[in-house]
Amino acid sequence: MIWESSYWKSDLLKQSSVLKKRMAQKRWTDTSYAKCEQSIMIGFYSVRKLIESKKLTDVVSDSTYQLRTFAPTGKKVTLLNHHRIEELYDFAKPNRQCLKLSFLCNQVVHSYVFSLVFEKDMFSAVLVASDHQRSKALIEIPVPKIIEAFEMVGNDEVSHQRLKLDPNKGDYFVENFR
């Protein structure tokens, strides 16, 4: 559990600034690629922990994103080929799906497929699928959506909460409001 969320949220705002700079970056080394991966993965892990710790308003925790997904081609995704995404997913027929922020966090944290996308030499998106999702769909998360999510979470403030004991679970149901 997270006790004091302000540190986590301020780090998310820093990750957001880093990603904004990465979008304009021209030269990519192995180090910059790895640091970008870290920013995204640690950022989504932080968002997930803030959601699970009930440190966000319900509006933010339950937020959704309309994203493109790509169906698998039928070829099995394995450790030896997971980097050959153009062979594994059908990019000619993208679908649109509304996905919850918590689902996206899990996709990144448990990513089996994870690839940065560059359009016209600019960092534009991340392609991701978790170990459980890899045979169902590949998700494209545009960098501006990642930045938007990190900033929304980083700026979220819970002003009051309502707790109700759930006797079946033996724990409290929590609602957070701004």
What pLDDT does residue 152 have?
Answer: 98
What pLDDT does residue 32 have?
Answer: 96
- pTM score of the predicted model: 0.93
What pLDDT does residue 149 have?
Answer: 98
Measured CA to CA, the distance from residue 62 to residue 116 in angstroms comes to 26
Q: Name residue, tokens 């004991």.
A: 165
What pLDDT does residue 112 have?
Answer: 98
User: The tokens of 90 are what?
Assistant: 């059908």
Evaluate whether 114 touches 87 at the Cβ level (below 8 Å): no
What pLDDT does residue 159 have?
Answer: 87
pLDDT tens sequence for the chain (178 residues): 898 999 999 999 999 999 999 999 999 999 999 999 999 999 999 999 999 999 999 999 999 999 999 999 999 999 999 999 999 999 999 999 999 999 999 999 999 999 999 999 899 999 999 999 999 999 999 999 999 999 999 999 998 888 888 899 899 888 888 8
Measured CA to CA, the distance from residue 151 to residue 153 in angstroms comes to 5
User: The tokens of 115 are what?
Assistant: 């690839």
What pLDDT does residue 177 have?
Answer: 86
What pLDDT does residue 85 have?
Answer: 97
